[in-house]
Amino acid sequence: MIETQSLCVSLGGAQVVHDIDLTVERGRLTALVGPNGAGKSTLLAALGRLVPPAAGAIRVDGTEIGRIPSPDLARRLAILRQNAVIAPRLSVADLVGFGRYPHSGGRLTAQDHDIVRDCLADLDLTDLAGRYLDTVSGGQRQRALIAMTLAQTPDALLLDEPLNNLDLSHVRRVMAVARARAETGAAVAVVLHDLTVAARHADHIVALKSGRVFASGPPEEVVTPEILSALYDTPLEVHDIAGKRVVLTV
Amino acid sequence: MRGPPVAKPLVLAGLACALACGLFLTLGARGDWGFVLAFRGQKLAALLVVATSVAWSTIVFQTVTGNRILTPSIMGFDALYLLIQTALVFTLGGVGFAALGQRLQFGIETALMLGAALALFAALLRRSDDLGRLVLTGIVFGILFRSLSSLLNRLIDPSEFAVVQAASFARFNAVNTDLLWIAAATTTVCVALLARRSARLDVIALGRETAIGLGVDHDREARRAMALVAVLVSVSTALVGPVVFFGLLVSALAHAAAGTWRHAVLLPLAALISATVLVGSQTIFERVLALETSVAVVIEGLGGLVFLALVLKGAAR
């Protein structure tokens, strides 16, 4: 669905992503992992056309991303940013409703209202729908932003650290929703810090270090003590517990 | 995207505005009604044009820059207009300037204003994530434009100074009616263009990245909105001169009264509130208290208090 070719991205004059070839495929949940400053968020922002590439190409379904009209792209691709700041005083339901803007331009149809209601329910926000964003907690706000991204009903879903501020039960819920979207044919890319979560939920893991792909492949290949210790420059243990991989820092 | 009930503030503001206009037209009228209504009607139309352009330009500017403290006039857009006017008198001479005629002057000034405002916006305001920097830049530029125009005032011939002096102070009781119809037409066009964009403005208010994510070409839309703001500021400055804090007063009242983020409600409500305040205080001061010069002072005073309150409350967003 999304494909990059020798992609380089610069931020404020410094190149932070170098020469990346990567494919985010439909029907698959791709996890981006790596240490702080590895360029994960920048790469994701470039895939979501928020930052223009310095060199190389990004193609969505074979078309250069810059050539796709903006409203068109917004119906096919949605991105959740880290630390998104929402200035106006909006209710949770209003914010999620904005996710339908690319489809109906600000006038919600009955179908749009159904989608908004489903997305609110998916993220356990139904009871908070009428609350103002500035009166809910950080985790609830984060879930509202995720729900808005989901309400865009995109073919490609890009989530930058969606698990920030979330408690255990909502971590599970968000990953389950992301998986469900992948299983119904969407291309999902998620930046994750928790390697155990990545190993459990992802079909494909891309590890970035210093702006380059350090390792990539299915979780069994990437989540190993050797690769992860080298990736983070710190000793990490990988244990098999009940057939699932668990990554420990000691 | 269901907001709270929005019709009520609009209806109330509409009634208040109609009342203010009615009083303005009829209070203390003596003699031939036909003459009184025609004379006052023209003045009322000018006040309504100014009220609308101040309200819309302020709200749109605040949406695009993502703040509630800075307004086009605090940012010095009106000072920029006066600077352009002074520079024109300076280069063409008083006689040459007068020979252009009011409408051509207005046209040239607005065109230059548009270019200058867009350049300024592209250079300074695009990355408006840092509110502190934005407000400081804005205020510094406001002072710069005012100082430059007073420098030019000192350099030009005293008789030519008289030409610009009249335009340099806010004057609500002697609005420039020669320009009224062209100003009204310009404002109507800007209002229509912005009204068509109201849903897009709602999305722009969410911030640059979110807006792009929702498929709005943020940079292009922001540029267009700023161009319309520049034209609206030109209209109000040409008609009544610079008013620094009035826009802020209106936008604070409108945001508080509207209880919604929808520009489709916010913009008309702001225009109604703006017209009520302007026409109402003009009526009270001109007809009831017979203090013709103080309207600008009082409105600016109120607006200044709102500015202080906003800064102290830290209601930056």
Nearest-Cα residue of chain A relative to residue B258 = A89
Give pLDDT tens digits for B258-283: 878 899 999 999 999 999 998 988 88
B184 touches A: beta carbon within 8 Å:
no
**Dihedral pair phi/psi, residue B88, rounded to 5°:** -65, -45
Is residue B317's pLDDT more than 60?
no
Sorting pLDDT into bands at 50, 70 and 90, what band is B79? confident
Q: Does domain B11-312 have CATH number 1.10.10.60?
A: no
CB atoms B1 and A100 under 8 Å? yes
Give pLDDT tens digits for B235-244: 888 888 888 7
The residue with greater pLDDT, A187 or B315, is A187
Q: Is the dihedral of CA B40, B46, B49, B52 positive or negative?
A: negative
A74 touches B: beta carbon within 8 Å:
yes
The label of the residue with tokens 């050797």 reads A226
Domains of chain B: which residue ranges? 11-312
CB atoms B215 and A75 under 8 Å? yes
Question: B129: distance to nearest CA of chain A, Å?
Answer: 9
CB-CB neighbors (< 8 A) of B213 in chain A: 48, 50, 74, 78-79, 81, 149, 152
Question: B50: distance to nearest CA of chain A, Å?
Answer: 26
Residue from B70, B208, B214, B220 whose CB has the most chain A CBs within 10 Å, to mutate: B214
Which of A73, A97, A107 has its CB closest to that of B215? A73
Nearest-Cα residue of chain A relative to residue B198 = A106
A114 touches B: beta carbon within 8 Å:
no
Give pLDDT tens digits for B176-203: 677 888 899 999 999 999 999 999 999 9
Q: How far apart are CA B162 and CA A183, in angstroms?
A: 76
The residue with greater pLDDT, B45 or B302, is B45
Is residue B43's pLDDT more than 90?
no
Q: What is the mean pLDDT of chain B?
A: 83
A108 touches B: beta carbon within 8 Å:
yes
Q: How far apart are CA A99 and CA B251, in angstroms?
A: 27
Nearest-Cα residue of chain A relative to residue B316 = A87
Sorting pLDDT into bands at 50, 70 and 90, what band is B73? confident
CA atoms within 13 A on the CB side of B188: 8
Full-model pTM: 0.87
Sheet holding A55-60, edge to edge: A14-24, A2-11, A55-60, A63-64
**Dihedral pair phi/psi, residue A248, rounded to 5°:** -120, 140
Sorting pLDDT into bands at 50, 70 and 90, what band is B4? very low
Distances (CA, A) of B154 to A17, A232, B143, B167, B280: 55, 66, 16, 15, 37
CB-CB neighbors (< 8 A) of A78 in chain B: 213
Question: How high is the pLDDT of residue B2?
Answer: 44
Strand pairing category for A204-209 and A28-33: parallel
Residues of chain A with pLDDT under 50: none
Residue from A80, A101, A111, A114 whose CB has the most chain B CBs within 10 Å, to mutate: A101
CB atoms B199 and A75 under 8 Å? no
Sorting pLDDT into bands at 50, 70 and 90, what band is B149? confident
Please state the length of chain A: 250
ipTM: 0.90
Sorting pLDDT into bands at 50, 70 and 90, what band is B314? low
CB atoms A50 and B317 under 8 Å? no
Question: How high is the pLDDT of residue B114?
Answer: 86
Question: A93: distance to nearest CA of chain B, Å?
Answer: 6
Q: Which structural domains are found in chain A, ordered by start?
A: 2-83+154-249 (3.40.50.300)
Q: How far apart are CA A79 and CA A159, in angstroms?
A: 6
